[in-house]
Amino acid sequence: MSEDNEKNKEISSGATNDAGSHDYFVNSTYKKNLQTMLLEKECLEKSRRFGISRRHFLTTSFGAVAATSIFGQIAAFSSKAEAMDGFVSPSEDLYMSVAETTRFTRLDQSTAEDWAIIENAVRAQSVGVVDTIKNMINACRGYHLGFGPDQFTHVTQTATRARRDNASDEMILVCLVHDLGKVISNLAHADIIAGMVRPYVSDGSFYLLRHHMEYQWKHYGLYVMRPTNGRARYVGQPWHANAVRFSDEYDQKAFDPYYRTDPIESFLPLVEQFFGTAQPRKNLTHQLCIG
Ligand SMILES: [Fe+2]
Ligand SMILES: [Fe+2]
């Protein structure tokens, strides 16, 4: 496997990594649909209210949430694509529901009606998670943190190595997202991404992501005052073998600027598959505490 990967190594002009454009998100089918919908007068007024351009408004998470909320239909569909297929023209009443918020000042004074309003907004937000993940991937472009290749190249290369090793879809996805938390905090990046994707992946993948640094220390812990046997405590865990493969065969090898890394577009269907749903595979207890 490793040999095969090395065979794939070839001098690249670098263009491969930059295939597509930074606009892959705003140019997606979903985004075009949103843009069409937001041509509606009401939405234009909403973006003006925020003092920003419509295009910029669309690129924000709130823009996506607001656009999907307008139709108040998300709860009835299992995925964003399905919601788009079932889309009907917005009415003034539906638009007004976007701006609907609760008025209580203390949680112990809230009502069932209040929580229906909140639940509707939370469901719409969950449909926007896939776009948040895509935006985090995009935010890794040009973000080096001292490494030769930027974090965008690193995560796509990690995922490419897993795919060429015939890894499972979930492992490829884990590789693609494993360092995205760095766009928020390098120190906390493992916990950040593990928590973000926990509702969408297996428990094993959650623990792999959460502890992946302890596995990586084998390769450089000596230089950062960390134990090189940090992974030892997890021997026997059902996800340990996957974590070893992830660390040794994919992650730690993915800093090669000359490796033929697949373009991000080839991974986006996988991102949609795992995150483009209003109904994550796991309904964690803490998810129920939407307040
Ligand atoms: Fe990491
Ligand atoms: Fe990494």
Ligand (nearest to CA of 182) = 1
What is the overall mean pLDDT for the chain? 76
* d(CA 253, ligand 2 centre) in Å: 9
For residues 159 and 253, state if they share a domain.
Answer: yes
- At residue 268, the 3 state secondary structure works out as helix
Q: How far are the Cα atoms of 153, 187, 268 from residue 250, in angstroms, in the given order?
A: 13, 21, 19
Q: Is residue 280 part of a domain?
A: no
Query: Which 3 state secondary structure label does DSSP give 277?
Result: strand
Interval 118-139 mean pLDDT = 85
- Identify any residues that bridge with 79 across adjacent strands, giving them in sequence order: 277
Residue 80, pLDDT score: 52
Q: Is the pLDDT of residue 136 over 60?
A: yes
pLDDT at site 154: 98
Determine the distance separating the centroid of ligand 2 and the alpha carbon of 251, expressed in angstroms: 5
Are 210 and 109 in a shared domain? no
Co-location of 154 and 245 in the same domain: yes
Q: Are residues 233 and 154 in the same domain?
A: yes
Side-chain half-sphere CA neighbours of 135 within 13 A = 14
Which residues in 22-57 are b (16+ Cβ under 10 Å) and which e? eebbbebebbebbbebbebebbeebbeeeeeeeeeb
Same domain, 91 and 207: no
Query: Which residues have C-beta under 5 Å from ligand 1, the single-atom ion?
Result: 179
Give the pLDDT confidence score for residue 276 in this predicted structure: 85
Task: Note whether 155 and 121 are same-domain residues.
Answer: no
Shared domain for 123 and 203, answered yes or no, is no
Helices (H), 18-79: 29-37, 41-49, 54-59, 61-70
Distance 230 CA to ligand 2 centre (A): 16
Alpha carbon of 281 to ligand 2 centroid (Å): 25
Q: Which of 17-26, 145-154, 173-182 is predicted least confidently?
A: 17-26
Cα of 280 vs centre of ligand 2, distance in Å, is 25
- Calculate how far, in angstroms, residue 190's C-alpha sits from the geometric centre of ligand 1: 6
Domain co-membership, 72 together with 176: no
CA of 184 to the centre of ligand 2 (A): 15
Task: Report the domain count for the chain.
Answer: 2
pLDDT tens figures, 230-276: 999 999 999 999 999 999 999 999 999 999 999 999 999 999 999 98
What percent of the chain is modeled with pLDDT above 70?
62
Do residues 152 and 253 both lie within one domain? Answer: yes
Residue 250 Cα, ligand 2 centroid: separation in angstroms? 9
Q: Are residues 190 and 76 in the same domain?
A: no
Rounded Cα gap, residues 189 and 197, in angstroms: 12
Contact 278, 78 (CB under 8 A): yes
> Is residue 284 assigned to a domain?
no
Torsion sign across C-alpha atoms 13, 16, 17, 18 = positive
Domain membership of residue 134 (yes or no) is: no
What does the pLDDT read at residue 278? 64
pLDDT tens figures, 85-96: 444 433 334 344
Cα of 178 from ligand 1 centre, angstroms:
6
Residues 174 and 241 in one domain: yes
pLDDT of 122: 77
pLDDT tens for residues 10-30? 323 333 333 333 334 334 444
In a domain, 15, yes or no: no
pLDDT at position 167: 98
Can you tell me the distance from the alpha carbon of 87 to that of 283, in angstroms, rounded to the nearest whole number? 26
| 10, part of any domain | no
How close is the Cα of 186 to the center of ligand 2, in Å? Answer: 11
pLDDT bucket at 131, cuts 50 / 70 / 90:
confident
Q: How far is the CA of 26 from the centre of ligand 1 (A)?
A: 27
- Which pLDDT band, with edges at 50, 70 and 90, does 121 fall under? confident
* pTM score over 0.75: no
CATH number at residue 152: 1.10.3210.10
Cα 276 to averaged position of ligand 1 atoms, centre (Å): 24
Same domain membership, residue 56 and residue 160: no
Closest ligand to C-alpha of residue 159 is 2
Domain housing 248: 146-275
> Which carries the bigger pLDDT value, residue 16 or residue 134?
134
Dist. CA 84–CA 80, nearest whole Å = 6
